[in-house]
Amino acid sequence: MQQANRPGTAVPPHRAGPRGFLTAMVVDTIGSGVWVTFSLLYFTEGRGIPLATAGTALSTGSLAALVLGGLAAGAFADRVGPYPAAVLSCAIRALVFPAYLWADTPAAVVVIAFGVSLGDRLYWAAHGGLVAGITSDEQARRRFFALLNGLRTMGLGLGALVVAVGAALEQWSGPVFWTAIPLLNAAGFAVAGLLFRRIGARAPRHRPSAAVTRGYREVFANRRFLAFTGATLALTLAAVAFESILPIYLRWLGLPLWLPPVAYVLSCLAIPAFQPVVLRWGRGRAPMRLMARSALLVAASLGGFLLLVGRNVSGAALLLVVLVLVFSLGQALFGAVAMVIVLDFAGGSGAGRYGACYQLVWGIASAVGPGLNTVLFAVSGTAPWLVLAGALLAAALVYRRLDRTAPPGADRSRGRAVAPPRRVRAR
């Protein structure tokens, strides 16, 4: 007998078509990753907009989408369901990306960046519910989120490679290279949207739970979730610092120009490679404890950057490889368990709102991280690593406290009491 779906749940995997679902997630995740590394160069080299102007315009559009649509995207996903929200997010980006070909003023860049960022906000609000609907247990969710984290990292690396190769071949390809990337991204998002629509059409009609009408009151009243989200800001700021301030720090140390891209590419390869390791490592362990370990690993790597001072090129390069691998292991662990915890906090009906609230820490880190790191770097070249390492140690303490203070018999990540399991025979 077919089991009815609860309000706020999605279609099981055997009816959803997991291959089509995975294809849609791959296209969306890699497309987003490519654009992150490509966008600024596109406007400066492809459209002739000054670097500072293009950066300010992109940041303005992204921040406006975060402020105006960040939380609204979560409420929307909970109300209509994760599949319609994912379809709309892909449709927005498929329609907006071609407009970049005509964006030659800062105002146009702001408007278009707002549209792309709004589509991103909708996707990240929906993707927790999408994964929850096709996975049956916590370990399966960890595997899926680890996969998505690895794919996004590969997308970032692919974007960097595309930029490098495209810039090298520009004299032969001319403007075709700059025209192709937005159009290919638009086509990719259109394909992902069609796949999400096809899969969602097979799902039972989404029925919003009663909690949707209460909006974010339940989310903001959950102090354990807010503590978890606040602590996670340290990890997101560390990720932004690795991408933005590490190259400047290495140049400040007088190290060669080839070292920063090597460190970045190594991380893009190591994070996906470490996913099977962290899944085996974390099997059977409480997710909050794994978050604490992630914070400690990243803190150790950032603190280790201080040891690069005074080393010669060969010694610095060898130490940097080790530190990047430690950083990547921490990031891989973070990517596998963070959203699992968010879904546990959300229960069965608030994945959109909890996911959107959690995603704000990424938006905040992306917005304030580069400026904060620049200010700290102006004080001292080592200041960003000292401050971030301290923040990560504090975050690890918060995670450990959240784990230890969960009520007896509770789900360790959300602190809700559950009935002890009865002894039953496996079948």
Per-residue pLDDT tens over the stretch 356-395? 888 888 888 877 787 788 888 888 889 999 999 999 999 9
Closest CA to 329 of 284, 272, 290, 271: 271
The answer to whether residues 385 and 234 touch, using CB atoms and an 8 Å cutoff, is no
Using alpha carbons only, what angle is made at residue 126 by residues 121 and 132, rounded to the nearest 5 degrees?
145
Weakly modelled stretches of the chain, pLDDT under 50: 1-17, 408-427
The Cβ-side half-sphere exposure at 254, using a 13 Å CA radius, reads 6
* DSSP SS3 for 410: strand
Alpha-carbon distance of 152 to 186, in angstroms, equals 17
Residues near 287 by Cβ (< 8 Å), separated by ≥ 6?
138, 337, 340, 341, 344, 412, 413
What is the reported pLDDT for 33?
66
What is the reported pLDDT for 207?
56
Q: Is the dihedral of CA 195, 196, 200, 201 positive or negative?
A: negative
What is the reported pLDDT for 173?
62
What is the reported pLDDT for 412?
45
Closest CA to 367 of 113, 87, 34: 113
- Please count the other Cβ atoms lying within 10 Å of the Cβ belonging to residue 6: 10
Rounded to 5 degrees, φ, ψ at 7 are -60, 140
Alpha-carbon distance of 174 to 246, in angstroms, equals 32
What is the reported pLDDT for 279?
83
Alpha-carbon distance of 411 to 225, in angstroms, equals 13
Closest CA to 279 of 231, 333, 343, 232: 333
- Please count the other Cβ atoms lying within 10 Å of the Cβ belonging to residue 254: 8
Region of 174 (left: φ > 0; alpha: ψ -120 to 50; beta: rest) is left
Please give the distance of CA 423 from its chain centroid, rounded to a whole number: 39
Helices (H), 135-207: 138-173, 176-202
Q: How many residues does the chain have?
A: 427
Alpha-carbon distance of 304 to 179, in angstroms, equals 42
Q: Name residue 354's beta-bridge partners.
A: none
Residues near 92 by Cβ (< 8 Å), separated by ≥ 6?
115, 116, 118, 119, 122
- Please count the other Cβ atoms lying within 10 Å of the Cβ belonging to residue 158: 18
